Amino acid sequence: MASITLPLPDAFNGYRFTKEQKRRLSLSLLPDLAEVLSLSICEKYFKCKFVLGAYNSKGYDIVSEDGKYVVEVKQTSRLKQENILRIQNVWHKKDICTHILVFDFYNTSNRCSIIPNGEFFNSDFDKGKHWLWDAEYGKGMLPKWNRPSKRCNENTQLFLKYEVEL
């Protein structure tokens, strides 16, 4: 696993972080780290230069220099419930961005998908407007019936259709 070293204010000198505090600090960095990683991924995918949007800009996180591609970056690093991943706070981006880039940081293989806006927002959202997909990508088996799982199948298939190599 990659690591990063950050200078902290002097007030933290000698402070010993608990395991839970370290976990929370690590999780809080993931959205910003995902945006940084998405720059090189989108440059390779779209074959043009990208820049970060203004911090907390409304509607997108990165944009191509020519303005043709406007990308909202989302990531998850934990299960919503058994074998289901979730991204949230995306529905209000519906008519603003051209693509949604979704990182799965939960699985050790780390996966990524760049989904066009129209297909993404026409897929299956739960009543809270969260986007859910199968953490096992349809490979898990339902023990009672001994057949592959179809958990969140529509969204899982959409993720796989637009999956890009990291």
- Between the two ends of the chain, the Cα-to-Cα distance in Å is 15
Considering the domain boundaries, does residue 80 fall inside one?
A: yes
| Nearest residue to 130 (alpha-carbon basis) of 108, 109, 155, 160 | 155
Say which CATH number the domain at 135 has.
Answer: 3.40.1350.10
Q: pLDDT by residue (tens digit) across 103-133?
A: 999 988 889 999 999 999 999 998 888 999 9
What global pTM score does this model have? 0.87
Angle at alpha carbon of residue 76, lines to 74 and 80, rounded to 5°: 125
Classify residue 10: in a domain, yes or no: no
Domain containing 27 equals: 15-164
Residue 8: inside a domain: no
Number of domains in the chain: 1
Residue 142 has pLDDT above 70, yes or no: no
